[in-house]
């Protein structure tokens, strides 16, 4: 998956070409963010596959969690998760989510935000 790409185009005016390259350079400096949502019981460890196969994220945050049996009831937990990147096991191995305890009776809908570094070679 690539950052946002401007359509390749040849310009008759050099200024327009310079402007397009500058704009693409700015877009390349924006970190990529992707979300992943799934329903499951919370267990430790829990493996999260990267939305971009084989690419290690810069960070992963829990942005939303819903108790599927009581959707109106808030789930009190933090967004910080502890994980180790282990591609041989399938991705990020989550060892804890702030405030959650493993359960085989409560099914949750988790939404995670994966943040990837900006395009390689950009400072």
The per-residue pLDDT for range 32-69, each reduced to its tens digit, is 899 999 999 999 999 999 998 888 999 999 999 999 99
Least confident interval from 1-10, 59-68, 103-112: 1-10
Average per-residue pLDDT for the chain? 88
Does 20 map to a domain? Answer: no
Does 80 map to a domain? Answer: yes
* Full residue range of the structural domain in which residue 90 is found: 31-116
Does 60 map to a domain? Answer: yes
pLDDT of residue 80: 92
Please give the share of the chain, as a percent, with pLDDT higher than 90: 63
Does 3 map to a domain? Answer: no
Hey, which residues does 93 pair with through a beta bridge? 47, 84
Does 93 map to a domain? Answer: yes
CA distance 65 to 107: 10
Does 9 map to a domain? Answer: no
Does 23 map to a domain? Answer: no
Instruction: Please give the tally of structural domains in the chain.
Output: 1
Q: What are phi and psi of 15, to 5 degrees?
A: -60, -40
């Amino acid at each position: 998956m690539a950052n946002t790409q401007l359509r390749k185009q040849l310009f008759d005016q050099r200024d327009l070409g310079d402007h397009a390259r500058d704009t693409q350079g700015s877009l390349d400096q924006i970190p990529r963010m992707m979300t992943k949502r799934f329903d499951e019981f919370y267990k430790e460890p829990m493996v999260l596959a990267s939305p971009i196969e084989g690419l290690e994220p810069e960070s992963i945050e829990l942005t939303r969690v819903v108790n599927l049996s009581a959707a109106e009831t808030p789930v009190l937990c933090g967004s910080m998760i502890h994980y180790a990147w282990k591609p041989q096991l399938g991705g990020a191995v989550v060892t804890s989510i702030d405030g959650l305890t493993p359960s085989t009776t409560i099914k949750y809908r988790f939404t995670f935000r994966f943040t990837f570094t900006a395009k390689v070679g950009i400072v």
